[in-house]
Structures are given as C-alpha cells and as structure tokens.
A and B are shown apart, each in its own frame.
Chain A
Amino acid sequence: MTTLITAPPIDEVAPTARTVIRPGVLPAPGAKQWVPACPVSRLVPGRGVAVLLPGGGQAALFLLPNGMIYAVGNIDPYARAGVISRGLTGDRAGEPTVASPLLKQVFSLRTGAALDDPEVALPTYAVRVQHGLVRLGVPHP
C-alpha cells in the first residue's frame, strides 16, 4: 500500500479567532463611487460572492483566509458567463488566485490577469471596509 505515516495526531488548528481585513487592491486614482456590497461577516474565508454594480455590471468579491479582500470582474472572459465569484481561490507561487468554475482558467486576484494567457485579464476593483461593511470602488461613469 502507500506510505505509512506515523505522525501523532495533532491538535486541530484553532479557527482564526479574528480576521484582520485588508483590502487587496489599491484604489486606482480617480473619483469613485463606493458601492456597498455586504457586511464582512457575510463572507466565507476562501470563497466569493457576486456583487451587482450600478449600471448592470457585476463583480466577484473574495475574502481569503489570511484576511485579504479582493474584487475582480465576475464575467468569465473565456466562457462569457457570470461565474468567477463561484470559483475556488488559492495561490500560485504565492500569487493569490481564483480559478473559473467552468473551464478552470486561473486569474490573479491582485491584478486580474489570466496567469496562463497574457492577453486576457479581469477588471479589478478597489475595496474599502468601513464599519464592518465592504464597499467596492467603481469609477464614476
């Protein structure tokens, strides 16, 4: 059979008591409209939610287990469907990522770039947390 592992059971790693929230994407210069998304408590570490933007656009908002919050476009440019918020997060050599749930292309959460395809990128949005409420910075039309 496979390797025998003889490590003693360890105590479960206690769930992080308090997550320090840090917006991952710095606001690009320029005036913004700060769209309220949801309370931080509504976010599950490691997963995303979709946010409806004024004018019908949509963003995908993620809280990572290390406390970073990122927002990128929700529309998968390959599959042309609003699914990015439902992808799995993780990292590639330290770069925080999300993988599309449809065809599994991987995007950087920091820059929005598709990691295997320099031509393609998701838009990114600045994030702000005020009084426990997450807001997304959307450029004024």
Chain B
Amino acid sequence: MSTTTERATGTTGTASRTVVVIGHGMVGHRFVEALRSRDTDSTWKVIVLSEEADAAYDRVGLSSYVGAWDRSALALSGNSYAGDDLVELRLGTRAEQVDRRTRTVTTSTGEVVAYDALVLATGSYPFVPPVPGHDSEGCYVYRTLDDLDGIRARAEAAIARAAAEGREANGLVVGGGLLGLEAANALRLLGLTPHVVEFAPRLMPLQVDEGGGAVLKGLISNLGVQVHTGAGTSSIAAQDDGRLAVELSDGTALLTDLVVFSAGVRPSDAVARAAGLAVGERGGVTTDTACRTSDENVWAVGEVAAVEGRCYGLVAPGYTMAEVVADRLLGGEATFPGADLSTKLKLLGVDVASFGDAMAATPGALEIVHTDATKGTYAKVVVSDDARTLLGGILVGDASAYTTLKAYVGREVPGDPGALISPAGAELGADALPDDAVICSCNNVTKGSICGAIAEGACDIAALKGCTNAGTTCGGCLPTVKKLLVDSGVELSKALCEHFEQSRAELFEIVASTGIRTFSGLLARYGTGTGCEICKPTVASILASTSSDHILDGEQAALQDSNDHFLANIQKNGTYSVVPRMPGGEVTAEQLITIGQVAQDFGLYVKVTGGQRIDLFGARVEQLPAIWQRLVDVGMESGQAYGKSLRTVKSCVGSTWCRFGVQDSVGMAVDLEHRYRGLRSPHKIKFGVSGCARECAEARGKDVGVIATDKGWNLYVCGNGGQTPAHARLLASDLDDETLVRYIDRFLMFYVRTADRLQRTAPWLDSLEGGLEHLKAVVCDDSLGIADDLEAAMSRHVEGYQDEWKAVLDDPEKLSRFVSFVNAPEEADPTIAFDESGPRKVPVLLGLPTVRENV
C-alpha cells in the first residue's frame, strides 16, 4: 500500500495537536462538541472517522424514523461542524487498525492518520444469537438507519405478498427487552403483526420485576402484539416461498415474514482488542474513571467503554464520559462519577419506568407494591429496612410519579412510603425535594439550578429549557419542572398586558362564549383602562378569527396594527410594501405585466420574496388605493403579507411537470391557499407543499407542510423558520385529499384558539401539555370532542372570505383614510426620500446626510 501519513501541519489555526475520534455516534458527536466549545485556544484539531455514511444522528429516537422515513429529522444538531475548520469529519470511513507505537490509525480507504490522542467511540453492535439459520435472508438487527430501511423494504414486500395470498403479514422479534419492544412497535407501524419471543419469564427482565412484567404483558398483548415469554429461539429456516419457519424452545412453530434480533448489544471493541488494549471480561475497553484506557494516549467513551470494568448501555452516561475526556484533554481533572441507570419510556403507548434499586437487591430492603388490574397499572417502591429511605422502584402503566420519586432515591421519605404509590395517597410534592435532587437526568439538571433560573426571571417552560437544558432530551421531567414553576410562587402570569389579566386563549374563549364583539365591551367587562398596542391587535385578531367582518369595520378599525390598518407592510421610512397574493406561486402573464407597470409608474423597488411572490416597496400611504385598483382589476387579491394570518403556500412544480413528482403539489397548494387565505391567527402562518419526498418546497420548514407520497399526502405541522428554526413534525401519513384538508382545518383552528399572542406554531407545540402526541390525539382521534366545532369554524371562515382590498376600494369611507395629511390629502410627505444612486433603490431617513461631505 502506498500511503502517506498525514501529520497535522499546523496550517489550520494554532492547533498543534490532533485527536482522532473513531465512531460518530451520539457520544462521539457530544465529545467533539464538548471539546470544541471548551478548547478556546484551539489547541486540538479533531479528525472523526465514521463508519456510517450519515453523520451522528439520534439513535435513541431511531424508532421515530418509521413513518416519516426522513433521515434529516434525526440528525443531531451541529453534526456537520459547518464553519469549524478544526473539525474534519470523514463519513463512510471505517477505522481498520490502530498502531499505538507509531500513533496512527489506518482507515478502510487506505489512509493512515496520525494522532496525539485517540478517542474510541465505537458504541455497540447488536448481539445475534448463533441459532441455526440466524443469517437467513429476512433476518435483521435494529441499530442503524440502514437497518430500518432494510426492515421497511422487506415488510412492504411481505405485506403485498400476504395481501395477494389473503393472509396477514407478520414479523418476529427475538428479545423482549426495551429495544425488542421498540422493534415490535416499529413492525406494528409498518403493518405487520408482531410476535415477541423472550427467553426470560417476563418482558423487560432487566427493568421490571415479575409483577410489573405481568401487567406489562397484559397491556402489550392488548395492543395486538403476540408475546411468548420463557421461550428461546431454537432454529430459523428459510422456506421456498421466502418466509421463515421459526421454532421456539417450547415447541411452538411459527411462520414469519421477517425476524428482528434484539437480544442485547456487545461493545464494538474489535479494533481496540487487535491493538492490544485491555478489555473487560464481558467485552468493552477497560478504562479508569478518567476514561483513559491501558494506553495513556487512548480514551474510550460511550457504550464501548468499560469504566472500571462496567459498560453502560444508555446515552446519558456516555455523554458524561465525553465531557470527562474533553476536560482531560484540556488539562482538567474530571472523573466519571458513575451513572444512574434509571429508565422511563413509553412503549407502544405504555409507560414503563424503573429507577434506583428496582429489584430490591439491597440487604433488608422492603418492597411495597400497588397493582390495579382494571386500570392496568403496577407500582412498586423499594425502601430501606426501616421503611424510611427510598431505594428504588418500578412503575408500569402510569409513570407520572417517576421524576419526583427518582429524585427521592437515597433520601428519607416524608411520611408513609406506601402513600407514595397508593392512588389515594398524598402526591409527593416537588417542593419537598432538596436542591441537589436531579430533576432532569438526561442533562443532569438539579432542582437547585431550575429554581435558580426561575429566581433569575425564567418564567415559563420555554425559558427554563433555554437556560437550564432541562427537559430538552426526553422531556420526561417536564411535568415536574412545570410544578416547580408553579410552586415557586413566581406567579405564572398569563396576563396579556396591564389591561387584561387573561391570556389570549382565555380571551378567545370569552369572545366565543359571550358573543361580545367589541373591544370596548370586552374591556368594560373583563379588563381595565383603555387598552394598548398589545391588547388591541390581539383582540382585533380574535374578532377577525371568529367572524368574517372586514377588519376595518366600525370600532375594529381603531384596534388594528398600523399594517393591518393600511393593509400593507410598513417599512423603515414609513412607506409601505405591497404584496399581491399568488396562490401556490402561480401568476398569469397579464398580472405580471401589470405588476411591472405599477412598479414603473409608482417608482417601486421590486423584490421576489421567499414565499414565491412579489414584493413592491416604497409606496406612500396615499398611493396604496391607486396601486391596488390596478392589481384588483387584473384579478389579484391582498396577500395579507401585513397580517398575522396565512401568508403563502409555497409549492414545487409537482407531478404535472416534474419527472419525480407523485402528486399534483401545485394544485393542492392553490386549493389550500384559497381555503385558508385571510385567516387571522396568533402569528403568521406559512404552508409548503412538495410533490415528492425530495421536498423541493421545503415544506418541513413551514407551519403546515404537505409532502406527497405514492399513497397520498404526509402532513407535517409546526415547522418554523425565523430565529429558532424547527422542523415540522409528522402528524399523519398517507392521507387522501379530503382527510388532509379536514386535519388541517382542525389543526389551524385549534392553534388559533389556544395559542398565545405572537406564539408561532413550534413554541406553541412545545408548550402544549402532552406535546405532539396530544396534538395528534386532538386532530386525528378527536380526543377532546371538538373536531366538529373546529371544522365548522373553519367552514364559516371559508364561506365568509372576502378580499380585504377590494372591499376597501368599494367603500369611500374606508378609502378616505388613505391620505398623507388630513389637511393636505394629495401632498406627498416631504420627509420621504430615496437614494437611487447605488445598485438598488433604498429609503433615506430623516436627518441623515444624503451627500457625504469630503473634508
């Protein structure tokens, strides 16, 4: 092999040393982030070798890939290190060999990379028991995105074949632990009937005890999963028809379309072994508490590390190790403190949690159990022999007490410990917890830091998430965080402003239920003072969302923000921009010509917007009616670019022109834009419609994103651009046109009713108790029983729609407000000026010298 060894040349910044990271999984990525954020002097250059072709993604959330099939949605943020010259990420490159003497790594591409420090972050691989036939076609593991693609292809083919043969397609999961149940759920979502085979006498043997396992088995069987416990897999044999015949140790024979092995994981320590590093008895690279291996220049983090001989199969301890090594490389003294292996998860909609000494292994430990067969819940707490200190516990069916209980582990319980889990018992308050109790275990956030943040002024969940990170990973602790907020005495003021104590959502309810239709009426009855620039537009928006009156009718005119009052967007010098609606981005030649002529005649600056329409800048108030008259004459309408309302429905060209398209995205976009145009909402709303999964319309960056599939449409919601961008989340898949529209009706109206003032859809979703699951339940399953109501409200909107500009042009009274000066209506404002000497026309503000004086 003719290769050259690369040594860091020192050309990039001041970095003098190189750390090579093997493996770009969750922990490898965290390590790079931790090192780069702390290495303020840029002493280290980082080279990451990643066997997988995808940069680090959220393996914990792997199952959410099912359905959306969108790899980008799982990408961990910042995983490409864009703009950071000191990190080099080599994807699809496996580390084959480590030579500790020369301090080099040889890669699968034949390169030899030198290191000063080496970090092993190779994670684990799934263990496949060596049963005969385990490598037959149709056998899979469940660890990577590629694994899931394979399972999907096999499942879809199996379903097609099974349908032709008039039978059900099914799949078998070997292993009934945490991951096995996730895999079973994935198979269920794919349309297969899942079977789960577990060797132990109960499901999730590592986390729950016998009693919990029995309740769990009942709950899971009810969901259509066939559970076989106390049975091993004896053999797998491929049949002529491609199916697999599986024999279990209890004599059961099953015919299945595919098999997923989920029988535990083993540390990926092969490279380390070959390099002669010390490994643990049961695998894993042995390290000390600094995560340093038997070679002082080599470190191990994540699932591959056996810290003092012990491997950890969870992501949180791995993150801690990554932080430890980053600190050590910069001369710090951090050590790995050990980790809490508590888990809480929702499997197939069933809550399961175990924490502390769940199996009562402590000598003398007492167990207190509460089972409710009708509700399907099981709860157990383990306490010390004097029944005073909480040691651990298990919750199945209802894990709402998890965070608080866990925080009490190792502490004295106030009162009778049995009361902790008895339904009648007093709920354990978060207020009784000491400050050092960990509330968010994913990010290791204590009650003290949460309360500290509250004291410093973080007064809602979003702010707390932002400044403490609590609840940003699994979200399980959010109910407790919320309780802390409420208990903190910081009054969670929902008051809209000094004139209304109510929140926007409450005012909406008031308007809807009392029928009060004026601001003065609302203020007299429910508020104080005369209103302000906050409550007036809010009430105006509520009134507009609940009726089809013109927004400049009667008293409402006085409530509208300046933009809505002049039906145009005010710009920095007080002139306006004009944006006619172009549904789905469509425009006729005649309209385009008129727009050009208008721009020319009024001297407007023209710019194409990001929402596929055209913005005309620099119109004075008194010019607006004349401009709009000409636009209305060629059939154009207000684009409501000035309103907190539906803006645009961006679309790609779709199946009518594009060779990849599978649905008519333009047609759908135009229909949607016509349906929802003019709808007033708490903030602006944008849509996108793409004709296939290539997603050229960037629909997932929109509040409502519609993406074509070969079976219909996938509906995504709550994506936002702006300051804190958020990808839209999958609400429902493969919808037909009618269901799609029905779901969007419900979604939009639910948002309009319940969101706060100026709360865009992504933060609204964040603030919804129950999050996406709750939203799905409301929109798709009508869990609140309000779907008819929401749809009726939307159809009133659709029927009552009128073009705001046309209505103004038809009404001399409204028109009369579009004047520059009340005493000189035709006079152009003398303070408005433009500079056209540069590459584009720009406004010149008052008091700014237009000519620079050359001294």
| A86 close to B573 (CB less than 8 A) | no
CB neighbours (8 Å) of B823 from chain A are 35-38, 51-52
| Cβ proximity bits B498-538 to A, threshold 8 Å, 1 near / 0 not | 11000101101110011111101100110001111101110
- CB within 8 Å of B: which A6-63 residues: 6-10, 12-13, 15, 35-38, 42, 44-47, 49-52, 56, 58, 61
| B510 close to A88 (CB less than 8 A) | no
| B574 close to A66 (CB less than 8 A) | no
| B824 close to A52 (CB less than 8 A) | yes
| B533 close to A99 (CB less than 8 A) | yes
| B509 close to A3 (CB less than 8 A) | yes
| B498 close to A93 (CB less than 8 A) | yes
CB neighbours (8 Å) of B819 from chain A are 49
> Does chain A have a CB within 8 A of B166?
no
| A92 close to B570 (CB less than 8 A) | no
CB neighbours (8 Å) of A58 from chain B are 821, 829, 831
Question: Nearest chain B CB to A3's CB is how many angstroms away?
Answer: 5
C-alpha gap A111/B563 in the complex (Å):
26
Contacts A46-B558, A92-B532 hold; do A2 and B505 have CB atoms under 8 A apart?
yes
**B829 contact from A8, A82, A99, A102, Cβ within 8 A:** A82
Contacts A44-B557, A52-B827 hold; do A86 and B821 have CB atoms under 8 A apart?
no
| Cβ proximity bits A74-101 to B, threshold 8 Å, 1 near / 0 not | 0110011111001111111110110101
Interface size of A by CB at 8 A reads 55
> Does chain A have a CB within 8 A of B804?
no
Contacts A44-B558, A47-B557 hold; do A5 and B570 have CB atoms under 8 A apart?
no
**A83 contact from B499, B535, B562, B821, Cβ within 8 A:** B562
C-alpha gap A8/B573 in the complex (Å):
47
Chain A residue, CB-CB nearest to B552: A44
C-alpha gap A8/B513 in the complex (Å):
8
| B518 close to A81 (CB less than 8 A) | no
CB neighbours (8 Å) of B848 from chain A are 80
Chain B residue, CB-CB nearest to A136: B823
C-alpha gap A85/B572 in the complex (Å):
15
C-alpha gap A44/B565 in the complex (Å):
12
| B518 close to A64 (CB less than 8 A) | no
C-alpha gap A44/B848 in the complex (Å):
34
> Does chain A have a CB within 8 A of B555?
yes
C-alpha gap A56/B559 in the complex (Å):
30
Categorize the interface residue count of chain B. Answer: 35 or more
Q: Among the interface residues A2, A49, A82, which one has the most CB atoms of the partner chain B within 10 A?
A: A2
> Does chain B have a CB within 8 A of A72?
no
| B572 close to A51 (CB less than 8 A) | no
> Does chain A have a CB within 8 A of B297?
no
C-alpha gap A89/B555 in the complex (Å):
13
| B832 close to A50 (CB less than 8 A) | no
- CB within 8 Å of A: which B802-855 residues: 817, 819-824, 827, 829-832, 845-848
Question: Nearest chain B CB to A32's CB is how many angstroms away?
Answer: 16
C-alpha gap A89/B561 in the complex (Å):
10
| A5 close to B520 (CB less than 8 A) | no
| A61 close to B533 (CB less than 8 A) | no
**B570 contact from A66, A75, A102, A106, Cβ within 8 A:** A102
**B513 contact from A6, A36, A89, A96, Cβ within 8 A:** A6
| A4 close to B509 (CB less than 8 A) | yes
| B533 close to A37 (CB less than 8 A) | no
Contacts A65-B530, A80-B847, A86-B566 hold; do A102 and B572 have CB atoms under 8 A apart?
yes
| A2 close to B533 (CB less than 8 A) | no
Contacts A82-B832, A88-B562, A93-B498 hold; do A37 and B822 have CB atoms under 8 A apart?
yes
| B529 close to A5 (CB less than 8 A) | no
| B517 close to A12 (CB less than 8 A) | yes
Question: Nearest chain B CB to A87's CB is how many angstroms away?
Answer: 7
CB neighbours (8 Å) of A7 from chain B are 510, 513-514, 525
CB neighbours (8 Å) of A2 from chain B are 503, 505-506, 508-509, 754
| A90 close to B513 (CB less than 8 A) | no
| B562 close to A91 (CB less than 8 A) | no
C-alpha gap A7/B526 in the complex (Å):
11
> Does chain A have a CB within 8 A of B784?
yes
- CB within 8 Å of A: which B558-611 residues: 558-559, 561-563, 565-566, 570, 572-574
| B514 close to A64 (CB less than 8 A) | no
| B845 close to A9 (CB less than 8 A) | no
Chain A residue, CB-CB nearest to B845: A80
CB neighbours (8 Å) of B515 from chain A are 9
**A81 contact from B531, B574, B786, B822, Cβ within 8 A:** B574
Across chains A and B, which 3 residue pairs bring their CB atoms closest together, nearest first? Answer: A46-B558, A101-B562, A90-B532
Q: Pull 9 A–B residue pairs with CB atoms less than 8 Å apart, ordered by A.
A: A4-B509, A5-B509, A13-B524, A15-B554, A82-B574, A86-B621, A90-B529, A91-B499, A106-B532
